[in-house]
Structure 1
């Protein structure tokens, strides 16, 4: 009887030590944030959170009106060029090819050296098939294309309709704007601004929820950029849950996250998951970043989801050890 009590006390103390050790390590890590080296960008990074109504996806919304709404938020300065990051799908009825129509407005309201990162639809004619992508596009103030990333983790029914050819016979389509499903991008590669020495990994919307499957083998990243339209969640808790996944990814990968969300929470998040700056889902505005934290290597960034298999192996080994001791 006495041995059983000692055994239970030992297990309890072991659990308490693990909890307190983990808590101390986490608190100490967060408190040492200021010790992480910072990198200063030659261009300011501006996260734009415009809060444009979600009903634009279902109405014939004016792209020109939306652009003018956005222009009222920013203060472009020719002498202080910036990288502007806009959310996903702010121009739902305008693809990359159509955007050139508004070149004059963009050119008149953004400086010559400004860079725009926009969530936008793009299309690509492959043989007889016209493929449409949900993309993150990097352009200059004359709308010259610098980089394009096509989303490769699509939302079922939201962005593509499974068994589309069959369901089309019944008049069914995806939920978001447009009749045709989006096509899947091939791969996610870092975008590098050679002149600024900035290297980031693009993600769109819920791609940020995939633990261990974002960074891949990409090394030397300065931060992740996530653009999102969170208006689909309405006033539900989904807005906050989606945002929290960005915090999880920053902690796991030890990498800062720059997040631009429409009708959601826009933020700049440190490699330790600390929210440096944010704009709430009910507000509109611009977050300005002059510097960002260097990456911090973590166990997860090295091992990925293999960590959980290690813990499972340890757990099974402990059970086997305890049962073996009981038999003796």
Structure 2
């Protein structure tokens, strides 16, 4: 293995870029549907050795000296994001006549842009690079800061953050109840890169010992927390039905199919409970499951009232229209409605974090003049974003915290109200992406929000994956991808919060500061030894 490390260190030019790209592709195996976290113990040591091999002229300017590091980071990131996000192109094939031209921009262009974050990560690391443990500390800091930036810059897109690789199953998710994803990103890179110490550099023993201790603590805490009694449902118990209709996206966009789609949802809602099972108190439909503007269709509300039994509640995704004033077109919102057994809308919540180019068009005046439009929004101007995320109060006093579609991937945007709710509610329509890794990755990331908040999650998806997840991220019941049907279960209880958002943020910055201190001291000692 030492020979392999030496060969990688000595690579140059195109060979170096291709090995970086391949290492990024290997890292994709850590994410669903594979979940092979051990792949990161291959990809990150390779990245360390590639950085070890950077040779620059000290007489060159700063930018020229940092360019090789940026190139390595970008190659690694391009492989990682290309291999992990290619399925986004499926959304453009739903209306291929209108959007197929943008396929290269989505499948290749977006990974190329996201790879710039990993270029920044390696540049930060390179500025603090030394030998031994110092260099993996620098790499962990660089990736931690880059992933933190990726969470909010340009509206944010923290999909497949490196930290998820360390949390492929509930046993390895429990650390998320103590520290935030940004901290896990940093510590995961340190652990994944640690094998590089075995074959190159000094300081192998302390670095490996720390990495083993971190990993062991991570797993041991998972055993401890899962060994505790499962959170008990609060009284009175509430039975939830998830409806997974499996409607093809092209069919959902066909006006002639709207009535049959609506009746399909109603028939699944009216399906009898399982043998000796309790009648569901709440029925949950996926995102945009109501295929028309509900407030313009009183007959549809009457049909819902006919199907719901006394005391039952329907929670459904729909497009909500709002009058914008005289002479202006209506504003449209991607929303959740709460509807009672009399067909009355008794609650609503709108999506806050919209998908750029999917639900709205950035720089609309300019880009629409070029003939561009958003993919998912068929109404003029696309969707509007809500300003607040209210708790949805259900009849009976239970509350849910609404997360529509990919809002569930933004860990830092799930605020303190989530811990006050009885459940997180995530409705989505992943039919856009077909039977690809996308829906599996989406479910995995949503699953972590339950662990972070100590709050169970109700998740309804058009084509899957629909599930009830308890406060530890454990799957209670679910429907696999493309499985049409319903599933009923009692909503699990909550778990006490370990840390709050403010404490998690402090832990992140304290960890980053400590890594910076260690990397800087190592760099200083490295320079002294060289001279």
Question: Could you tell me which of 301, 308, 321 is aligned with 1:123?
Answer: 321
Q: Which residue of 2 is the match for residue 185 of structure 1?
A: 386
User: What does residue range 262-301 of structure 1 map to in structure 2 within 5 Å?
Assistant: 262-299=462-499, 301=501
- Distance (whole Å) between structure 2 residues aligned to residue 302 and residue 76 of structure 1: 45
Q: Which residue of 2 is the match for residue 47 of structure 1?
A: 242
**Structure 2 unpaired stretches of 5+:** 1-200
* Bigger radius of gyration among the two: 2
Shift of 1:324: 7.1
Shift of 1:74: 3.0
Question: Could you tell me which of 93, 108, 111 is aligned with 2:306?
Answer: 108
CA contact (8 A) 2:252 2:261 kept: no
Shift of 1:255: 1.6
Question: TM-score scaled to structure 2, two decimals?
Answer: 0.56
- Distance (whole Å) between structure 2 residues aligned to residue 184 and residue 176 of structure 1: 14
Shift of 1:284: 1.4
CA contact (8 A) 1:239 1:264 kept: yes
Q: Which residue of 1 is the match for residue 265 of structure 2?
A: 70
- Distance (whole Å) between structure 1 residues aligned to residue 258 and residue 252 of structure 2: 11
Question: Could you tell me which of 255, 267, 275 is aligned with 1:60?
Answer: 255
- Distance (whole Å) between structure 2 residues aligned to residue 57 and residue 76 of structure 1: 22
Question: Could you tell me which of 297, 308, 313 is aligned with 2:508?
Answer: 308
CA contact (8 A) 1:64 1:102 kept: no
**Structure 1 unpaired stretches of 5+:** none
Aligned residues: 321
CA contact (8 A) 1:47 1:286 kept: yes
- Distance (whole Å) between structure 1 residues aligned to residue 448 and residue 238 of structure 2: 27
- Distance (whole Å) between structure 1 residues aligned to residue 264 and residue 477 of structure 2: 23
Secondary structure of 1:103 counterpart: helix
CA contact (8 A) 2:302 2:343 kept: no
Alpha-carbon displacement from aligned partner over 1:253-299 (angstroms, at most 9, x marks no partner): 22211100001200011111111111011201222122312133133
Q: Which residue of 2 is the match for residue 29 of structure 1?
A: 225
Shift of 1:23: 1.1
Could you say which structure has the higher strand fraction? 1
- Distance (whole Å) between structure 1 residues aligned to residue 412 and residue 344 of structure 2: 33
Q: Which residue of 2 is the match for residue 16 of structure 1?
A: 212
Shift of 1:167: 3.0
RMSD over equivalenced CA pairs, Å? 2.6
Structure 2 vs 1, CA of residues 11 and 104 (structure 1 numbering), >3 Å: closer, same or farther? closer
- Distance (whole Å) between structure 2 residues aligned to residue 291 and residue 89 of structure 1: 23
Question: Could you tell me which of 361, 370, 373 is aligned with 1:161?
Answer: 361
Shift of 1:39: 1.6
Structure 2 vs 1, CA of residues 67 and 242 (structure 1 numbering), >3 Å: closer, same or farther? same
Structure 2 vs 1, CA of residues 204 and 212 (structure 1 numbering), >3 Å: closer, same or farther? same
